[in-house]
Amino acid sequence: MNMKKALLVLAVLLFAAPPAWSGGEISVKDPWVRRNPPGASVTAAYMVIENRGRAADELLEIGCSCSASASLHITETREDSMAMKKVASIEVPPGDSVVLSPGGYHVMLEGLSGDMGETVTLEFKFRSGERISVTAPVVLNPPAASRRGHHH
């Protein structure tokens, strides 16, 4: 087998076998948690959930190492007020992504356990059975990555 042929075989193998670390079709990007003043017992987490698959999926549950409870919320703006409402799940359409950002969907973290430190671990459970764990920075303002392109 000459070099060229060997490279071709290698390329075919690389593309044929999905890497084990790909984590399936759902991914969580740009997670961050808002740093609240010391003593605050609640805060929120934001991120982008991407579904590269061909079937819809649904975020069912979330957990955080930092809080007693984590639930899915949406902020609704009415005529002159804003209110938060609990949602049972968040649908992620195939080939699309859902943005959790201030003023919209967010993860409500309640019963914070002391100082959150620099990062926290968020765990996601999806209807497809997918479980994803990400490390989110605890920051005062949204990181640049999550501000990009989300001006609605």
Instruction: Summarize as ranges the residues that interact with Cu ion (CB under 5 A).
Output: 73, 84, 108
CA–CA dist 151, 145 (Å, integer): 13
Nearest approach, Cβ of residue 108 and Cu ion (Å): 4
Q: How many CB atoms lie within 10 A of CB 28?
A: 20
Give the residue at shortest CB distance from Cu ion.
Answer: 73
Nearest approach, Cβ of residue 142 and Cu ion (Å): 16
Nearest approach, Cβ of residue 73 and Cu ion (Å): 3
Q: Is 74:5 a contact under the CB 8 Å cutoff?
A: no
Task: Kindly tell me which of 108 and 132 has the beta carbon lying closer to Cu ion.
Answer: 108
Task: Kindly tell me which of 24 and 104 has the beta carbon lying closer to Cu ion.
Answer: 104
Q: Map residue 139 onto helix, strand or coil.
A: strand
Nearest approach, Cβ of residue 82 and Cu ion (Å): 10
Q: Using CA atoms of 63, 68, 73, 77 in order, give the dihedral in degrees to the nearest 10.
A: -150
Q: Map residue 21 onto helix, strand or coil.
A: helix
Task: Kindly tell me which of 71 and 128 has the beta carbon lying closer to Cu ion.
Answer: 71
Task: Kindly tell me which of 28 and 45 has the beta carbon lying closer to Cu ion.
Answer: 45
Task: Kindly tell me which of 73 and 127 has the beta carbon lying closer to Cu ion.
Answer: 73
Nearest approach, Cβ of residue 26 and Cu ion (Å): 23
Beta-sheet pairing, 119-126 with 131-139: antiparallel
Alpha-carbon radius of gyration of the chain: 19
